[in-house]
Amino acid sequence: MKELIVIAAHGTEFVRQCVDSLAGVDHIVVDTDEVQPGGHPTGAYRWVYEHVPADRYLFVQDCMTALTADPCAWFRDQLPAEGGAVAWGKFPLAFDTSTQQQWVQDQYPGQSVEFGMLGPIFYTPRSSLDVLAEKGLLPAVPNGRMQAQGTERAWVYAYAAAGLPVAGPMWSQPAMQAGFGGWRKVWASRP
């Protein structure tokens, strides 16, 4: 089974530390500005899905550092038997703006979910992404920060619309900053 860690890089401030923490682990760095204007993770994730085959993917941000030799283990252990995804951290569903809510819900009419996923940072099998793609459910590539933050909700909507579960715990910023699930995150303020 080939697992690939996908690092969505926005600029160069954090990426070296992330890459260095993955010595000996299959990973790819995708410059988000090269795959879409404005540089947001979902564009990088979709690009990798379309161009770099793997059995399973762990999608992370460049401001994260792996803390273990097997940085997928925590996620792998929680993946439901039927596929779907494992979020690094879920949060109760709320939107930043009504425009963002409309943008997400227009992609998934009639669908409802109870949570979003931070980042979006998640682990998923290619077979689950194939289901999303076949059903036309992959989230739209965002145009701007509010839509990018909307993808933290849209990925959960997509899996729900496909009938696939999203596992994972509720998020904790202090735990994620200290080290949680084999990773640590720096909260970066970005445009």
Helix (H) or strand (E) holding 150: helix 145-161
Give tens-digit pLDDT for 66-83. 999 999 999 999 999 999
Q: In this predicted structure, which of 26-35, 52-61, 102-111 has the lowest mean pLDDT?
A: 26-35
Q: How far is CA 8 from the centre of its chain?
A: 9
Beta bridge partner(s), residue 166: 85
Radius of gyration, alpha carbons of the chain: 15
β pairing state of 64-66 and 115-117:
unpaired
Q: What is the mean pLDDT of the chain?
A: 92
β pairing state of 56-61 and 122-125:
antiparallel
Instruction: State the architecture of 3-185 in CATH terms.
Output: Alpha-Beta Complex (3.90)
Instruction: Go through 128-167 and write b for each residue having 16 or more CB atoms within 10 A of its CB, e for each that does not.
Output: bbebbeeeebbbbbbeeeebbbbbbbbbbbbbbbbebbbb
Whole-model pTM: value is 0.94
Pair of tokens at residue 50: 């379309």
Q: Where are the domains positioned within the chain? A: 3-185
Amino acid found at 130: D
Question: Quick check: 146 pLDDT over 60?
Answer: yes
